[in-house]
Amino acid sequence: MCGIAGFLRLGSATPSSADADAARRMGEALAHRGPDGRRVWSDGRIAFAHARLSIIDLEGGWQPIANEDASVRVVLNGEIYNHRALRAELAPRHKFTTRSDTEVLVHLWEEEGERMLERVHGMFAFALWDARRQVLLLARDRLGKKPLYLEERDGVLAFASEPRALFARAEPGREGAQRELDPLALDDVLSQRYVDAPRSGFCGIEQLEPGSWLRIDARGRERRRYWSPPPPTPRAIDDATALAEFGPRFDAAVACRLESDVPLGLLLSGGIDSCAVLDSMSRQLGRAVRTFTVAFSRGEESEAEHARATAQHFGAEHTVFDLDEPTMLDEVERVLAQVDVPFADPSHLPTALVCRLARTQVTVCLTGDGGDELFGGYTRYRQALARAEHANASGARAAVYRGVLARLPNHGFKAWKLARGLRDRLGTPEHAYVEHLATAERALRVELYGPRALALRARDVESELELDLCGEGDLEERMVSFDLAHTLPGLILTKADRASMAHGLELRSPLLDHALVEWSRTLPGRCRIRDGNGKWLLRRWLEGRVPAEVLQRKKRGFGTPLGRWFRRELAPLSDGYLGASRLAADGWLEPRAIATLLREHRRRARNHGELLWALLALEIWYRNWVQRDAPAIAAASARSSAAARASHE
């Protein structure tokens, strides 16, 4: 796991003697992703930078890595899990000089070109330069675990693991990559907490989409998708067959993620997914696994006790990071300021904190990410399916629902929650799914948009998402397909990458092994959701392996008590940022609407916790990364670097 960056001068653009310095600045901007050192290489039109987090071949794995005659070079962020099998196949025809997984890429390219991506098994974003053919290939893994951002300007195509490295390419004091807010990013974040690829949040900067490659050569450029989430093809199999097929596949997915020349552990939430990973790790490693979780000072908001009991059952070496309110208040601003793209998942905070904790003891952690998508764990799945069962609610029943809605008070969280449930029953199943995805309902967002964002008032994200969900086939399968293509890379995997790499920690997700994902798409729906409960297959597979109470727990995850926080502990911070919003001052947001949200929330008229978090995240991002608030950036970077150094020592 690392940070990569670089650029290619296009067409007649003249190489500069300053290119190596530009690449060096790009690499330095990614030092948090690779605290073990940086390397830079430039030659004519092309320059590469690599910030290294040493995982495999600690002495010999420095990048860029080249082939025998140095005509092909590559920089990689991520891991190639099947590198040993590929190396054995390629070794008779090529000379390997390291044990690094990265080296297989240069030789595989020589033999198969872009088709190599169909054979690579892993999480990755890489840049490969073929000097003989004058070809640059940029590629990203199938599910989008590793990011890659692109910016073309003044005859130069630049790429990087994070936009901050694109900004760093310019000489000090000169304008770098564009820092203009993409207005659609406001609506994306306030409706779904993230910006969907290929957009980035900045005008002029885009993401390479998951499962895609971009080739640039003398003929121009070509972009293709080499993998997409497969369509559902459910088989007629019985439960015993499904369980028998799952076990070996899951263990294989865990096994290939256990290779590491540095200490390794597990982020343990106390839920079923990470419990399944812990079971497999414990059996395959044959020793105690190091596990990590985070606890808030008020126990009702965390799963720390559940995680502790699970760890004890497996004999794990368990560590809990107790987060008290003063610590939380200090960390919110730093964690949000570290992210250079608009992103507003509240669980990013506890995930970042547990990653920082884990980094003091290990360099690699496995996670349970992916269980909800593969095995129907999300509440929104069950809510939409329940709505489908009420699809014929009309006449007297619909009249009753509408009558209750009309009589509900317009304040109070319980009334709001009941109203949301009744609207689910009156709307389409697709509407129920989308509403549970939303950060805030459209009516609230429309009131927030200022004069520069008036066009967003005509945009209906919910309807766009519902159209994406509509189609033939099983509703559950359509929801899973949507999540694999959008919510998983945009929300879950973005959080995992940014929370972990801010502290130089590599996360690996065996449940998101692409072969396991492909297999899961062949399962009948009853293997996922049965009797109103999700993750049937995982629960059944764990029976007899874990205490029964683990399987009976409701899904919680790394929660954050936003309602209370914005009424109390985060009130000064939200007043400071939102009470004097620069997004509002620049015309993007309406200050009176922000004030109304804060007032309603503190009076407990409505619970606007998630929306206030999204506004706070947007405001901090806008000040730091669009307006380039140098003091704020310096302070946040200093705190982050100090934390990273402390974790690394």
Asked, for residue 163, whether it belongs to a domain, the answer is yes
Query: Which long-range contacts link 110-117 to residues 24+ away (Cβ below 8 Å)?
Result: 110/67, 110/72, 114/213, 114/215, 114/224, 114/226, 117/213, 117/226, 117/227
Q: What is the 3-state secondary structure (H, E, C) of 213-271?
A: EEEEECCEEEEEECCCCCCCCCCCCCHHHHHHHHHHHHHHHHHCCCCCCCCEEEECCCC
- Specify if 456 maps to a domain: no
Mean pLDDT, residues 242-247: 97
My answer on whether 110 and 27 are in the same domain is yes
- Residue 181 pLDDT exceeds 60: yes
Higher pLDDT, 382 or 272: 272
DSSP letter (8 states) at residue 492? I
Q: Which residues contact 187 (CB under 8 A, 6 or more apart)?
A: 445, 453, 456, 459, 461
638: phi then psi, degrees, rounded to nearest 5: -65, -45
Nearest to 90 by CA among 108, 117, 74: 108
User: Rounded to an integer, what distance in angstroms lies between the CA atom of residue 303 and that of residue 317?
Assistant: 17
Neighbours of 399 (CB within 10 A): 11
Which structural domain range is residue 217 located in? 2-183+197-225
Q: How confident is the model at residue 352 (pLDDT cuts 50, 70, 90)?
A: very high
Give yes or no: residues 170 and 252 share one domain: no
Is there a single domain that holds both residue 272 and residue 202?
no
pLDDT (0 to 100) of residue 298:
58
Of 236, 230, 292, nearest to 267 by C-alpha is 292
CA angle 475, 478, 483 (to 5 degrees): 130
At residue 273, what are phi and psi to the nearest 5 degrees?
-65, -55
The residue ranking higher by pLDDT, 432 or 534, is 534
Over the stretch 493-542, which tens digit does the pLDDT of each residue have? 999 999 999 999 999 999 999 999 999 999 998 999 888 888 999 999 99
Give, to the nearest 10 degrees, the angle between helix 571-578 and helix 325-338.
30
Cα distance between residue 492 and residue 145, in whole Å: 9
Q: What's the token pair of residue 295? A: 């606890």
The residue with greater pLDDT, 194 or 445, is 194
d(CA 258, CA 285) in angstroms, rounded, equals 8
pLDDT at 376: 87
Does 363 reside within a domain? Answer: yes
pLDDT at 396: 58
Residue 123 pairs in a beta bridge with: 79
Burial of residue 58, with CB atoms counted within 10 A of its CB: 0-12 exposed, 13-18 middle, 19 or more buried: middle
Same domain, 257 and 175: no
Are 558 and 640 contained in the same domain? Answer: yes
User: In 3D, which of 173, 174, 171, 176 has the Cα closest to residue 205?
Assistant: 176
The set of residues, in sequence order, having a beta carbon less than 8 Å from that of 220 and lying 6+ positions away, is: none
Rounded percentage of the chain residues whose pLDDT exceeds 70: 87
Residues 265-280 have pLDDT tens digits of 999 988 899 999 999 9
CA dihedral 367, 163, 440, 459 (to 10 degrees): -130
Listed range (325-329, 584-588, 644-648) with the worst mean pLDDT: 644-648
Give the phi and the psi of residue 643 in degrees, each rounded to 5: -65, -40
Is residue 450 domain-resident?
Answer: no
Please tell me whether residue 447 adopts helix, strand or coil conformation: helix
User: Comparing 92 with 644, which gets the higher pLDDT?
Assistant: 92
Between 268 and 171, the higher pLDDT residue: 268
The more confidently predicted of residues 464 and 163 is 163
Q: Which of 213-227, 288-302, 505-519, 591-605 has the lowest mean pLDDT?
A: 288-302
* 475 — pLDDT class (breaks 50, 70, 90): confident
- CATH number where 15 lies: 3.60.20.10
Residue 130 lies in a domain: yes
Over the stretch 112-153, which tens digit does the pLDDT of each residue have? 999 999 999 999 999 999 999 999 999 999 999 999 999 999
Instruction: Find the farthest-apart pair of alpha carbons in the chain and give their distance in angstroms, rounded.
Output: 78
Q: How confident is the model at residue 208 (pLDDT cuts 50, 70, 90)?
A: very high
Determine, yes or no, domain membership for 162. Answer: yes
- pLDDT band per the 50, 70, 90 thresholds, residue 631: very low
Q: Is the pLDDT of residue 264 over 80?
A: yes
Are residues 216 and 166 located together in one domain of the fold?
Answer: yes
Considering the domain architecture, whether residues 208 and 282 belong to the same structural domain is answered as no
The label of the residue with tokens 């070794």 reads 91
The pLDDT value recorded for residue 300 is 46
Cβ-based neighbours of 202, under 8 Å, separated by 6 or more: 163, 177, 178, 179, 180, 181, 182, 185, 341, 626
Arithmetic mean of pLDDT over the chain: 88
Domain total for the chain?
Answer: 2
pLDDT at 322 over 60: yes
What does the pLDDT read at residue 301? Answer: 47
Comparison of pLDDT for 293 and 12, the residue scoring more: 293
**202 and 335 both lie in a single domain:** no
Under DSSP, the state recorded for 446 is H
> Would strands 290-296 and 264-267 be described as parallel, antiparallel, or unpaired?
parallel
384-428 pLDDT per residue, tens:
777 777 655 555 566 676 567 566 665 555 665 666 666 656 567
Residue 422 lies in a domain: no
User: What secondary structure letter does DSSP report for 115?
Assistant: G
Give the pLDDT score at 432: 76
Domain match, 541 and 593 both: yes
- The CATH number assigned to the domain holding 629 equals 3.40.50.620
φ/ψ region of 6 (left if φ > 0, alpha if ψ in -120 to 50, else beta) reads left
Same domain, yes or no: 332 and 299: yes
Residue 248, pLDDT above cutoff 60? yes
Q: Which of 167-176, 435-444, 463-472, 489-498: highest mean pLDDT?
A: 489-498
Cβ neighbours of residue 430 under 8 Å, at least 6 residues apart?
384, 466, 469, 470, 475
Whether 158 is covered by a domain: the verdict is: yes
Residues 6+ apart with CB under 8 A from 296: 302, 304, 323, 328, 350, 559, 560, 561
Arithmetic mean of pLDDT, 25-32 = 97
Cα radius of gyration rounded to whole Å, the chain: 24
Instruction: Indicate if 148 and 39 belong to the same structural domain.
Output: yes
Same domain, 220 and 279: no
